């Protein structure tokens, strides 16, 4: 099993540029999550999808951030325009949604380290 795949692993860009992060969840998983991790704020949930539908995007910091999940095997997180304060590690995670009273593990990808100059 390949696990959650993220690309690119590292991205360096200049302020004002558009950045697109990509994620391929584990096959068969029906929930997908985007997180951002920084030293100051820790691991923050940005948005999550269930069956390709965005359920909660209250963690998306600004309109500059957008996420899509066109099908069960692919999701993107886009930042346009990017700013230096967006520098962070962005993680994608997927899980198989469980029924009431159950918890299924979220599997995290290796992350994309974004640096905005």
Binding to other proteins by residue 4, rule CB under 8 A? yes
- For the record, the structure tokens of 33 come out as 């999550």
Q: Which stretch binds other proteins (CB under 8 A): 14-22, 61-69, 74-82, 92-100?
A: 92-100
Residue 83, number of CB atoms within 10 A of its CB: 12
**What minimum distance in Å lies between the beta carbon of 14 and other proteins?**
24
Among 51, 84, 104, 117, binds other proteins (CB under 8 A): 104
User: Distance (Å, rounded) from C-alpha 37 to C-alpha 71?
Assistant: 25
- Alpha-carbon torsion angle 63, 80, 56, 53, nearest 10: 130
Binding to other proteins by residue 103, rule CB under 8 A? yes
By CB atoms closer than 10 A (0-12, 13-18, 19+), residue 93 is buried
Q: Which stretch binds other proteins (CB under 8 A): 13-21, 68-76, 80-88, 103-111?
A: 103-111
Among 56, 80, 84, 85, binds other proteins (CB under 8 A): 56
- For the record, the structure tokens of 9 come out as 């692993």
Please give the residue ranges that form the binding site for other proteins (CB under 8 A): 4, 31, 33, 42-45, 48, 50, 55-56, 91, 93, 97-98, 100-106, 108-111
């Amino acid at each position: 099993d390949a696990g959650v795949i993220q690309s690119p692993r590292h991205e360096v860009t200049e302020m004002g540029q558009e950045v697109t992060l990509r994620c391929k969840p584990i096959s068969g998983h029906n929930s997908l999550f985007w997180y951002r991790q920084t030293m100051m704020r820790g691991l923050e949930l940005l948005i999550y999808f269930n069956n390709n539908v965005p359920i909660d995007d209250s963690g998306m910091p600004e309109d500059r951030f957008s996420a899509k999940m066109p099908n069960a095997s692919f999701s993107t997180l886009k930042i346009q325009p990017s700013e230096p304060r967006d520098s962070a590690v962005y993680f994608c995670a997927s899980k198989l949604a469980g029924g009431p009273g159950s918890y299924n593990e979220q599997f995290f990808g290796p992350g994309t380290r974004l640096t905005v100059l």
